[in-house]
Amino acid sequence: MVSGTYSQKNTIGGSGSTMKKSTIMIILGVSLFLAAGCSSQDNNAQPTADNGNAANNGNTIEITESGFNPSTLTINAGETVTWINKMAIPSWPASAVHPTHQVYPEPGGCLGSKFDACRNLRQGESYSFTFNQIGAWRYHDHSDPGNTGTVIVQ
Ligand SMILES: [Cu+2]
């Protein structure tokens, strides 16, 4: 069927109308593609941005050469904090007090409490913890115990 359309048996008028149809189809197709492309970009951009903020309520602490940034962060109970290692060397966020990590009053984790990354984060890696206990919770870098910070949960 397809090869018949382009065979020499077709009249000039026949192939002309085929070309017009093709042109219209292409224009329609491009218009639909552009319209669909624009709307899908709008639909995708907003949920991604919203979800990114909602994931940890913006409670991100960067681990840098000069310490935890911010070194003190205040959140509401039930919110999640994410530490991200921006250093080339590894970092292990964990509850005070080194080396037992037992200050945060929830059991679990690998040593004394649930608030413990339990491993070194490499550069670019992150650790998230949800604070359900109200208080001022000191923590440190288990791989560099002199580096400390506080999460205040209200
Ligand atoms: Cu420690």
What confidence category does residue 145 fall into, taking pLDDT thresholds of 50, 70 and 90? very high
CA 147 to ligand 1 centroid distance, Å: 10
Please write the tens of the pLDDT for every residue from 82-132.
999 999 999 999 999 999 999 999 999 999 999 999 999 999 999 999 999
Q: Is 126 left (phi over 0), alpha (psi -120 to 50) or beta?
A: beta
Instruction: Give Cα 99 distance to the centre of its chain.
Output: 31
CA 56 to ligand 1 centroid distance, Å: 24
Please write the tens of the pLDDT for every residue from 53-66.
445 678 999 999 99
CA 53 to ligand 1 centroid distance, Å: 30
Evaluate if residue 48 carries a pLDDT over 70.
no
What confidence category does residue 52 fall into, taking pLDDT thresholds of 50, 70 and 90? very low
CA 34 to ligand 1 centroid distance, Å: 55
Superfamily of domain 60-153 in the CATH hierarchy: Cupredoxins -  blue copper proteins (2.60.40.420)
CA 115 to ligand 1 centroid distance, Å: 11
Q: Using an 8 Å Cβ cutoff, are 130 and 80 in contact?
A: yes
CA 93 to ligand 1 centroid distance, Å: 8
Number of residues that this document lists for the chain: 154
Q: What is the pTM of this model?
A: 0.65
Q: Using an 8 Å Cβ cutoff, are 113 and 105 in contact?
A: yes
CA 52 to ligand 1 centroid distance, Å: 30
Q: For residue 18, what is the DSSP state?
A: H
Residue 32 phi, psi (nearest 5): -65, -40
CA 150 to ligand 1 centroid distance, Å: 14
In the three-class reduction of DSSP (H, G, I as helix; E, B as strand; rest coil), residue 60 is classed as: strand
In angstroms, rounded to a whole number, what is the distance separating the alpha carbons of residues 109 and 67? 23
Q: For residue 45, what is the DSSP state?
A: H
CA 90 to ligand 1 centroid distance, Å: 13
CA 13 to ligand 1 centroid distance, Å: 85
Q: Would you kindly state where each structural domain of the chain is located, as residue ranges?
A: 2-55, 60-153
In angstroms, rounded to a whole number, what is the distance separating the alpha carbons of residues 132 and 127? 16
Evaluate if residue 28 carries a pLDDT over 60.
no
